[in-house]
Amino acid sequence: MITEITVEQILAGYNDQAALSDAYTIPAPWYVDPRIAELERHTVFSKTWQVIGRVDQVEKPGQFVTATVAGEPMVAVRGNDDILRAFYNVCRHHAAAVVTEPCGQASILHCPYHGWNYGLDGSLKGMPEFDGVKNFERKDNGLVPVKVDTWETLVFVNLDPHAGSLQDFLGGLVTGKSLSITTSTAAITCRICTKA
Ligand code: FES
């Protein structure tokens, strides 16, 4: 009988306290075991600042960019008040994706499933055929916000409502100019919004 190696055993297979001269590459399961990916999702990607787009994609009111962070659909959108906000891209009706394009510009966020409309500030504006529904407060059913910030050319979100600032997260990076940004953004280029 083959006994599956536990996550604890996988993690114990690497000594992160080893001196540099004794260091070695992390074990293969850290790259391929879905349990490690899930652990990372919960402990790293859902609690740290993650890039979801470029600042030039959300420069103007109504411009938005979508992405998935830690398995959660996100949308960042510039409001008419010029404030950049980010939300879970999940309709408060039946949880469909409200914004289905990778990026673009809109005057309102329109859920394609049953037509609920949200303002660029995430507030619920309209619900077709919803008249007469009791115990429903429109003001309590806007898109759920997440932390958003920018640095240099990049837009970041953080799913942890208690997270520290992006500036603290980046630490010394924010005081220096990193030429590597050019290569970092290549992976998140939106084919629709990319300027020629
Ligand atoms: S799921 Fe969005 S309107 Fe129904």
What does 3-38 look like in DSSP terms, one character per residue? PPPPHHHHHHT--TTS-GGG--PPPTHHHH-HHHHH
What does the CA dihedral 100, 34, 184, 196 come to, rounded to 10 degrees? -30
SS3 73: strand
What's the pLDDT tens digit per position in 124-142?
999 898 888 888 899 999 9
- Please report which confidence band the pLDDT of residue 53 belongs to, taking 50, 70 and 90 as the band edges: very high
By the 8 A CB rule, do 104 and 64 touch? Answer: yes
Distance 119 CA to ligand 1 centre (A): 15
- Of all protein residues, the one whose alpha carbon is nearest to atom 3 of ligand 1 is 114
Q: Any idea what DSSP says for residue 107?
A: S
Average pLDDT of span 7-15: 93
Domain locations along the chain:
7-45, 50-175
Distance 127 CA to ligand 1 centre (A): 9
Residue with tokens 């994706």: 97
> Is residue 47 within 6 Å of ligand 1 at its C-beta?
no
Atom of ligand 1 minimally distant from the CA of 95: 1
> Is residue 113 within 6 Å of ligand 1 at its C-beta?
yes
By the 8 A CB rule, do 193 and 103 touch? Answer: yes
Which two structure tokens, joined as six digits, stand for 147? 């932390």
> Is residue 96 within 6 Å of ligand 1 at its C-beta?
yes
> Is residue 111 within 6 Å of ligand 1 at its C-beta?
yes
Task: For the chain, give the mean pLDDT.
Answer: 89
- Of all protein residues, the one whose alpha carbon is nearest to atom 4 of ligand 1 is 114
Nearest to 108 by CA among 89, 116, 96, 88: 116
Comparing 181 with 17, the larger pLDDT belongs to 17
> Is residue 115 within 6 Å of ligand 1 at its C-beta?
yes
Beta bridge partners of residue 104, listed in sequence order: 64
- Please report which confidence band the pLDDT of residue 185 belongs to, taking 50, 70 and 90 as the band edges: very low
Nearest to 51 by CA among 190, 179, 176: 190
The confidence score (pLDDT) of residue 68 equals 97
> Is residue 94 within 6 Å of ligand 1 at its C-beta?
yes
> Is residue 97 within 6 Å of ligand 1 at its C-beta?
no
Q: Assign domain 50-175 to its CATH architecture.
A: 3-layer Sandwich (2.102)
> Is residue 117 within 6 Å of ligand 1 at its C-beta?
no
